[in-house]
Chain A
Amino acid sequence: KNEVEQSPQNLTAQEGEFITINCSYSVGISALHWLQQHPGGGIVSLFMLSSGKKKHGRLIATINIQEKHSSLHITASHPRDSAVYICAVNWGGSEKLVFGKGTKLTVNP
């Protein structure tokens, strides 16, 4: 069964803390995406990965293809980082995205 599992489901942090959100998937993929969704709806693409590591500002995403696992890290977290973070994958050569259930992050000042 093709599955995408995220952990934790909910995460509360204090401003300034280092945050890690994890994503595991069950079978081989062609790419993994990290997405951010704020209350009110719109989804923003943060990263698309097929190997290694990417960094953008305070955000870092890593992927281990052998272990079928990816992590999203946020350094020096800020209340504006509060959002739902969603992991999604493309299986094989498909354009279809399969989504994890999301991690709701709350960063308190």
Chain B
Amino acid sequence: DTEVTQTPKHLVMGMTNKKSLKCEQHMGHRAMYWYKQKAKKPPELMFVYSYEKLSINESVPSRFSPECPNSSLLNLHLHALQPEDSALYLCASSQTGQGRATEAFFGQGTRLTVV
């Protein structure tokens, strides 16, 4: 199984809603990532978890709250978002780097629209 599964595929939410994006992998990878991608732009890193601990936070606003409940799951909790947060949210995983680069596997993404 070389898949990273993201749910939901599409999400429309209001600015006062609370929602969560989910990501799952069963490749035994110990590094998991959230990226945000706006239309016609490259992905931008938001968070990195390594061995279920947050290792990188790219100064993301607190309305985005990541969670890694176990080595296979990664969540992104959303609260009080703004319309400019509408984007494709991509999850990825890799064997943990620990000082070396490893191949990243990406999910299909969740297309989020904030209204």
Contact = CB atoms under 8 A, between A and B. Distances in A.
A2 interface: no
B101 A50 contact: yes
Contact of B43 (A30, A43, A90, A95): A43
A4 to B, nearest CB: 9
B23 interface: no
Contacts of B103: 33, 45, 48
A1 interface: no
Contact of A31 (B88, B90, B101, B109): B101
Interface residues of B, number: 29
Given A96-B48, A100-B42, A102-B42, A45 B101 contact: no
Interface stretch (B13-21, B63-71, B77-85, B91-99): B91-99
Contact of A95 (B101, B107, B109): B101
Contacts of A100: 42
A101 B43 CA distance: 9
Contacts of A31: 101
B48 A95 contact: yes
Nearest to A90: B101
Contact of B101 (A30, A44, A102): A30
B31 A42 contact: no
A97 B105 CA distance: 12
Given A33-B104, A41-B111, A101-B42, A93 B97 contact: yes
B30 to A, nearest CB: 11
A43 B104 CA distance: 10
A96 B45 contact: yes
A42 B23 CA distance: 13
Contacts of A45: 103-106
Q: Find the residue from B31, B33, B42, B50 having the highest chain A CB count within 10 A.
A: B42
Interface string A86-109: 101010011111011110000000
Given A42-B109, A43-B43, A97 B56 contact: no
Interface of B: 31, 33, 37, 41-43, 45, 48, 50, 55-56, 88, 90, 92, 94, 96-97, 99-109, 111
